[in-house]
Structure 1
Amino acid sequence: MTGERLRFDGWIAGVGTSSGTRVVVGHWPRSPFGPFSDVMVQRPGGKRLLLAPSGPVADFVAATYRFDRIDVVPVAVSVSGDVWLVEAGPLRLRLRTGRQSPFGLLLSAVPASFARSPLWARLCDLPARTLMPGVRTLGSAGSGRREWYGARGLRPVLAADASWGGASLGALAPLDPPVAFGFGSAPRRPCVVRVTTTVERRAPSG
């Protein structure tokens, strides 16, 4: 029996920095919690932080992924053309994206209803793991949940300027080593992925 399926429709931006800090931004105009954005950060020593805009979002995300610290802070993401501006607690991040890649164009041709299905995620999982080590499109999440990602577009990140508490995090770099929040990482090459994420909670017993 399948459980309750919660869908988050939006974008995931993943970048690395030359300081070793890696940042994954989720920007969700449509979700069970209404529009929101959240930020997952992994510091050079491996510490994993969640920057969430509210208690309910923090509780849900922390039950699905793994973190060493969780902070509820204002999180603001604005997108204008190819420029993203992210402000979340001590983090300031500015991204500039490029044109949709050929792979992204192929993904965008997939009908939205099929892209949301676990079948599509299953079909994409092996190619994703082969072409982008560390990336998975479906797997087991925290609290006995299942999760899958339906990618529907991809743009490279061409430039980034990031700071933490006013101190620069360095130049744009590959997201390496992979982040360790859940069963898979964002791609090594900095990018923004158009995605529908589905989290399936376990059906109540009895």
Structure 2
Amino acid sequence: MGRSRFHGEIFGIGTDSGVRIVIGHWTNSPLGEFTDVMVQFTDGHRLLLAPNENVREFVTATYTFDEVYLTPVEFSQRGNSVELAADDLRVSVTTGQPTALGRLLHLVPNAVSTAPWFCRISDPIARVVLRGVRTRGSAGNGRREYYGARHQHRITAAEASWRGEDLGHLTPVTPPVTFGFGSTPAAPSVTSITTTVDSR
């Protein structure tokens, strides 16, 4: 069995239009530094925006999509402002103070909060408290996946457009996204995370 670990941040936002967007910005991973975007439209259609073939291959072997675009994904962050451009998607995000969960996670050593054994323990709690959030589960092709959160901040504002059409104001991520076994939190947030993937 092989083990891959991805260190980075996951941004989850909903919009008035019903489109939900999940941005993964990975600063340290077996695939190098990269950003990918998962979009679920109002009709349930699931789209992956991947920056290269290696990312596309790994992500689609782990999650489920109806369509995949290979496209440059431009991500920039200055202070609490994030800008993203990928194909016809444009997203601007403003982050705020730590969430209550983020303040709690700050007290837990990273070596503990990101360990698969801790993700097994925290999974039943996450299911109840965060509704739709999972910290471990079965991924595609027999893989096991563990989400070890290190910190979390609120997203206080967001603007997004698809093919030039404004997607509306920031809303909770509801209904939950269905790319994999779990969703991002319903409350818009950015979570610092280590994702561990065990492959056969």
For the criterion TM > 0.5, the same-fold answer is yes
Map residues 55-74 of structure 1 onto 2, 5 A cutoff. 55-74=53-72
Do 2:114 and 2:150's aligned partners in 1 also have CA atoms closer than 8 Å?
no
| Structure 1 unpaired stretches of 5+ | none
Amino acid at match of 1:34: G
Give the aligned partner of residue 153 of structure 2: 155
Map residues 141-180 of structure 1 onto 2, 5 A cutoff. 141-180=139-178
- Which among 95, 118, 126 is matched to residue 116 of structure 2? 118
- Calculate the TM-score normalised by the size of structure 1: 0.95
Give the aligned partner of residue 30 of structure 1: 28
Amino acid at match of 1:112: N
Map residues 16-55 of structure 1 onto 2, 5 A cutoff. 16-55=14-53
TM-superposed CA distance for 1:113, in Å, is 1.7
* Distance in 2 separating the partners of 1:108 and 1:8: 19
* Distance in 2 separating the partners of 1:32 and 1:84: 24
Count matched residues.
Answer: 200
RMSD over aligned CA atoms reads 0.8
Q: Which deviations, in whole Å up to 9, do the C-alpha atoms of 1:104-130 show, x marking residues without a partner? A: 021122222222211111121111111
- Calculate the TM-score normalised by the size of structure 2: 0.98
- Which among 91, 97, 107 is matched to residue 105 of structure 2? 107
Give the aligned partner of residue 196 of structure 1: 194
Q: Which runs of 4+ in 1 moved over 4 A?
A: none
Give the aligned partner of residue 185 of structure 2: 187
| Structure 2 unpaired stretches of 5+ | none
* Distance in 2 separating the partners of 1:116 and 1:127: 16
* Distance in 2 separating the partners of 1:173 and 1:57: 28
* Distance in 2 separating the partners of 1:127 and 1:79: 32
TM-superposed CA distance for 1:67, in Å, is 0.1
What SS is found at the alignment partner of 1:99? strand
Percent identity of equivalent pairs: 50
Give the aligned partner of residue 137 of structure 1: 135
TM-superposed CA distance for 1:173, in Å, is 0.7
